[in-house]
Structure 1
């Protein structure tokens, strides 16, 4: 007779835990505060000066790469003209 009571209690615990967690974590104010805080930590607001520094760095790297490619092309062109 006592076995079914234990089974009912276990089943109530098994069902109430996920429902309770869903209810707790699905509160809009908790979720909104947590998400806003986490988003600001992971993705801070963009700073204009940082963006400009990044763009400058990208431009410098592209120019450097173009110069290296031009240098290689000129060397290959010189070698080709010498062998002809």
Structure 2
């Protein structure tokens, strides 16, 4: 068995390791670039040309649905 110095060293490691990990992983500067890059991949800036194409296809789809609905009634 170890003496009291070994026990103090182990206790110090057990207490400082979680605090150190908490400090490291809560530094925004470490993850800021990654978060911004991922956010831009998931939600790209809006392109007006693509937006107009989407609205046009949505309008056509609604018109087709309205026509088929009118034919049923």
- 2:37 corresponds to which residue? 37
Which TM-score applies when normalising by structure 1? 0.66
Q: Any unmatched runs of 5+ in structure 2?
A: none
CA distance in 2, matches of 1:20, 1:49: 49
Which TM-score applies when normalising by structure 2? 0.74
1:19-34 equivalences under 5 Å are 19-34=19-34
- The Cα of 1:15 is off from its aligned counterpart by 2.7
- 1:72 corresponds to which residue? 72
Higher helix share: 1
Q: Any unmatched runs of 5+ in structure 1?
A: 74-84
Q: Secondary structure at the match of 2:13?
A: helix
Q: Which has the larger radius of gyration?
A: 1
RMSD of aligned C-alpha atoms?
Answer: 2.2
